[in-house]
Structure 1
Amino acid sequence: MSAEKKHQYFFMLGHVVLLLGLLCSKAMISIGSVFIIGSAVWQIVLNPGLIASPPKPIVGFLMLFFIPFLSFFWSENMHDWLEVVLNKVMLPALAWSYWLAPKLDKREYFWLSVTNIGLVLAGTVYSIGHYLFSADYVNESYLRAKTLKVMYLNDHLHFSLWIIITLGLMLYDWQVLISYWRKYSKFVFGAIALWFMLFLHVLGAKTGLILLYAGLFYLFFQKGIGKISSFYKIMILPLTLGLLFLSYIFIPTFKNRLHYTLYDFNQYAQGSFINGLTDGARVLSWKAGAEIAHTHPILGVGFGDLHDVFDDWHETHSAHLETYNWLQPSNEWLMYWCGSGWLGMILLSIGLWWIYRYSGMKDDRVFAYLFLAQVLMMWYEVNLSNQMGITLFVFSWGWLQLGNRAKLFESDNIGESMPRIG
C-alpha cells in the first residue's frame, strides 16, 4: 500500500470515529479529532512549507480562537480558561486539518457520505424506538420542557442541527449518492430525507424546525433550482402552513411542544422566570449578559472567569431559581463581549465573515445555507463554546471543502468509477 493511500485511510478512520462520537461519545469525538489532526501533521511533515502560510479561511478560524486565548492575561480562573481554550483551539486545528486532508476519490467520498447519513438515521431510529415504547409518557412530558430522548447527552438541539446539516449535505452530494444503486438510489435517499424531515416534526426542537423551513424557502426561491412556475412559488406559503397544521393535528409531540412554547413565552414576556422553562432561562441569560457586558465593555471579564461572574449575577438576581437555570448568555456575540469586550465581539464578526468570504464557496447555495443557518443559531445558542457545536460547525465546512476540492459535479457520468449493485 502506498504512503498516499495510508494517509487517506488514516484520515478516513478519524472522520468516521468523529462521526460516531457525534452520535454517542465525547471521547470518540476527541479521538477522531486527534486522527484528523494527525493526518494534517503527516501532510505537513511531508510538505513543511504548508505551515508557513495558512490558507485564507483558516485565518478566520484563528480569529475565533485568538481573543479567548488572549484573555489569559485578565482571567483569574486558569482552570476554566484552559477548558475554554482547549475547546476553541479545535476551531482552527480541525478546520486546517480538513483543508489539508488528502483528496478522496468518488468511491471513498460516497462511503463517508453514506456513513454520516447512516449514523444520523440510526440516531433517529433509536429515538423513535424509545418513543414507541413510552408514547403516552413522552407526549405528556412535552408539556414540561422535555423532549424525545436522543443519543449523546440527550442533546436534542445539536442533534436536530446535525440532521439539518445532513439534509444539506445530501443535497450537495446528490449526484454522487444516486450514482451507486442506479435503480433504487433516488427512492432510498429521497425516503431517508423525508424521514429526517418527519422526525424533526416529531422531535419538535425549535432549532431544527426553524432551520428546516428557512432552508426550504431559501432553496425554493434560488435561481437554478429547477423550473418552478410562479404559481408554485405563490403556493409555497399556504402549503407550508398546511403542513404545519397537519403536524399539529397528527403529531402529539409537535402539538404539545407548541403549547409549551407559548406558555413559556407568556411567562417571560411578563417578566416571570420559572424553574425549567428553557426559553425563559435563555432570555434571563441575555439579560445577565447585557448587564455584565455593559459593566466591563472594553476587555470583558476574561473567558476564564465567565462561570464565576455569571454565578454571582444569578445569586443576586435569580436566587429563586434552581442552579440548572443559571446559564451563561445564549448568544455568541454576548459571550465574546462578556469574555473579551468590544474587541472580542468585533473579531467574532470579522472571523465569521472572513471564513464565509474566503472559503471559495460563497456562491454555492448549500454552503451559504448551512453556514448562515449556524450563524443564525449563534444568536440564541453558544455553538462555539461547546464540543458538539464546534465539531458540527467545522465538520459541515470541512466536508464541503472536500467535495469542492474533488470537483464531484464536473462530469455527467459521475458514477462510472463507482461500484454498482444489481
Structure 2
Amino acid sequence: MNDVRKGKIGSSRKLVIFISILIMLSGLLFSRMLLSLGLTVFAGACLVHRNITDQLKTFFFSPLLWSMSLLLLLPLVSGFWSQDIATWSQILRIKLPLLLLPVCFAGLNYFTDKDWQRIAFAFLILVIVGTGWSLWRYLEDANSVQEAYLRAQTIETPLGNDHVRFSLLVSIATLTSGFLLLTKGKTFQRRIVVALLAITFILVAYLHVLAARTGLICFYFSTLVFIIWVLWRQRKIPRYSWLLFIVLLLPFISWMAFPTFKNRISYIKYDLSFLKNDNYRSGSNDGNRLISIKAGWRLQNNHPLTGVGFGDIKNETDKLYQRKYPQMIKADKILPSSEWMIYGAGTGWPGFILFSMVMLIPFFIAPLQKQIAWRLLNISIVLSYVFDIGLEVQYGVFIHAFILLWWYKWLGSVPKFHEIAKNNE
C-alpha cells in the first residue's frame, strides 16, 4: 500500500516539475512573471521532499553543479568590501538561480530520455513562435527597421527585447533541432523529421535577419567545429566537405538576401573604423564595448586581490570614464562588456581565475566530455561571455543555468553521437 502511495506521489511530483519547466520556458520568452512563477513551483517541487539530504550530497559531489554555484558565491563574498549594498543585493537576487537550479537538478534523476526530448520539442516550439512574432514585428515596417540597422538598432525580439540573449537562444535551438535530427531522425515519423528540418532552416535564416553578433558567432563557430569534427571522425573528407562549403557560403547569401544583415555588416565596418585611434564616439557600439572592457581590466589590475566588489563595479567604472572621457554621455557608461572583466573587476584576479575554471569544468565532465553536442553547447555559452555580460541579467542567468543543466541531464540518458554515427555506417 505504501509503495503504491509513494508511486502516485512520485508521478504527481514529476508531472508538477514537468509543467513548471514548460511554464519557465514560456515565461523566458514572453513573461517575467511566468518565469518567476514557474521557477518558484519548480523549486518547491524539487526541494520539498524527504530525500533532500541525498540530493544535497549529489550536489556537492557533482563538479558541474557546485561549480555553477561559484558564479553566485563570488559576488556574495564581495559584499564584505562592496559599499553600495543596494546594488550588491540586487545582483545577488538576479544570480540566485545559479545556486537554486543546480541544487534542484541534483534530484532530477527520474526523467527519461523521452521526458527530456518532450522538453526539447516544447523549447523548439516556443522559440519558433518567438521567432515568428519577431519577424511579424519586422515586416510591419520593414523599411524603417532596415534603416535602423545602420544606427545599431535591431528587430524587436522576445525576452523583453533583449536581442543578444534571444540570438543566443535561437543558436542553441538550432543546435537542439540538429541534435534531434542526428540522434533520433531514423526513429521519428517522417512529418516530425520534415518539421525539424523546417525549424532548423527558419532559425538559421532568422539568425541572419536578426544579425546579432552573439547568435551568429555562436552558430558559425559551433557549426564549423562540428563539421571539422565530422570530417576528422568519419575520415571521408570528399563525402562531407560540401557541408563546409555551404556554411562558408551562407554569409554571402545572407548579404544578398537580407537587408538587415547587409546593413549590420556596414554599420560594424563603420563603427570599427573609430577603434583604430581608441577615440570615444557617442553612440558607438563596438567602441564603447572596447572602452568598457579596458575599464574592467584596469579595475582588476588596480585591485588585484579583491576587486572593487560587485556592488561597486558600476560606480568605479563611471569614475574611470569621467577621468579619461569626461565628454562621455550617461547612456554610453556601460558595465565592462565581458563576464571575465565583470568577475575580475568585482573579485580581482582570484575571481577572474575561478570564473575561467567554472567555464572550463563542463568540458571535462565524464562521460559528457566525449559528447560533441555537449562541447558545442558549452563552446557557444563561453563565446557569448567574451564580449557580453549575460550573467548580469535575469534572462541570461536563467539561460545559462537551465540550458546547461537540462542538457547535462538529457545527454546523460542518450547514446553518444559518435556511437550513433558508427552504427549508421
Structure 2 length-normalised TM: 0.89
Structure 2 Cα separation of the partners of residues 224 and 363 of structure 1? 16
The C-alpha deviation readout for 1:328-356, integer Å capped at 9, x for no partner, is 11111211111111111121122222343
1:382 and 2:385 are equivalent in the alignment: no
Structure 2 Cα separation of the partners of residues 239 and 103 of structure 1? 41
The aligned counterpart of 2:68 is: 61
How much does 1:175 deviate?
Answer: 6.5
Structure 2 Cα separation of the partners of residues 315 and 218 of structure 1? 42
Distance change (3 Å), C-alpha of 1:136 and 1:74: same
How much does 1:357 deviate?
Answer: 2.1
1:40 and 2:30 are equivalent in the alignment: no
Distance change (3 Å), C-alpha of 1:407 and 1:232: closer
Q: Is the 8 A contact 1:131 1:148 kept in 2?
A: yes
The aligned counterpart of 1:297 is: 304
**Where does the alignment leave 5 or more consecutive residues of structure 2 unmatched?**
1-6, 421-425
How much does 1:237 deviate?
Answer: 5.3
Q: Is the 8 A contact 2:167 2:215 kept in 1?
A: yes
Q: Is the 8 A contact 1:200 1:208 kept in 2?
A: yes
How much does 1:360 deviate?
Answer: 3.7
How much does 1:6 deviate?
Answer: 1.1
Distance change (3 Å), C-alpha of 1:323 and 1:42: same
1:169 and 2:176 are equivalent in the alignment: yes
Q: Is the 8 A contact 2:152 2:267 kept in 1?
A: yes
Q: Is the 8 A contact 1:130 1:149 kept in 2?
A: yes
**AA aligned opposite 2:128:** L
Structure 2 Cα separation of the partners of residues 286 and 154 of structure 1? 24
Instruction: Decide which of 5, 8, 26 is 1:2's aligned counterpart.
Output: 8
Structure 1 or 2: more helix by fraction: 2
How much does 1:219 deviate?
Answer: 0.9
**AA aligned opposite 2:401:** V
**AA aligned opposite 1:60:** S
Instruction: Decide which of 67, 79, 85 is 1:72's aligned counterpart.
Output: 79
Structure 1 Cα separation of the partners of residues 387 and 20 of structure 2? 31
Q: Is the 8 A contact 1:117 1:166 kept in 2?
A: yes
Structure 1 Cα separation of the partners of residues 272 and 205 of structure 2? 25
**AA aligned opposite 1:356:** F
Structure 2 Cα separation of the partners of residues 42 and 246 of structure 1? 53
The aligned counterpart of 2:31 is: 25
Moved more, 95-104 or 135-144: 95-104
Distance change (3 Å), C-alpha of 1:242 and 1:149: same
The C-alpha deviation readout for 1:230-264, integer Å capped at 9, x for no partner, is 23555555543432112111211110000000011
How much does 1:314 deviate?
Answer: 2.2
The aligned counterpart of 1:217 is: 224
Matches within 5 A, 1:301-320: 301-320=308-327
The C-alpha deviation readout for 1:340-391, integer Å capped at 9, x for no partner, is 1111112112222234323641111011111122112211111222222221
Structure 2 Cα separation of the partners of residues 79 and 103 of structure 1? 40
Instruction: Decide which of 382, 392, 399 is 2:406's aligned counterpart.
Output: 399
**Where does the alignment leave 5 or more consecutive residues of structure 1 unmatched?**
413-422
How much does 1:74 deviate?
Answer: 0.7
The aligned counterpart of 2:163 is: 156
1:356 and 2:368 are equivalent in the alignment: no
The aligned counterpart of 1:146 is: 153
Q: Is the 8 A contact 2:95 2:397 kept in 1?
A: yes
Distance change (3 Å), C-alpha of 1:294 and 1:181: closer
Structure 2 Cα separation of the partners of residues 269 and 338 of structure 1? 25
1:125 and 2:132 are equivalent in the alignment: yes
**AA aligned opposite 1:37:** A
Q: Is the 8 A contact 2:55 2:106 kept in 1?
A: no
The aligned counterpart of 1:101 is: 108
Q: Is the 8 A contact 2:66 2:102 kept in 1?
A: no
The aligned counterpart of 2:348 is: 341
Deviation >6 Å, runs of 4+: 408-412
**AA aligned opposite 1:335:** I
Distance change (3 Å), C-alpha of 1:195 and 1:381: same
- How high is the sequence identity, in percent, across the aligned residues? 25
The aligned counterpart of 2:122 is: 115
Distance change (3 Å), C-alpha of 1:354 and 1:226: closer
The aligned counterpart of 1:419 is: none
1:186 and 2:193 are equivalent in the alignment: yes
Q: Is the 8 A contact 1:248 1:254 kept in 2?
A: yes
Q: Is the 8 A contact 2:322 2:328 kept in 1?
A: no
**AA aligned opposite 2:391:** L
How much does 1:151 deviate?
Answer: 1.5
**AA aligned opposite 2:129:** A
The aligned counterpart of 1:14 is: 20
The C-alpha deviation readout for 1:304-346, integer Å capped at 9, x for no partner, is 1112212222233333232121111111121111111111112
Structure 2 Cα separation of the partners of residues 167 and 175 of structure 1? 12
Q: Is the 8 A contact 1:175 1:409 kept in 2?
A: no
Supply the RMSD in Å over aligned alpha carbons. 2.5
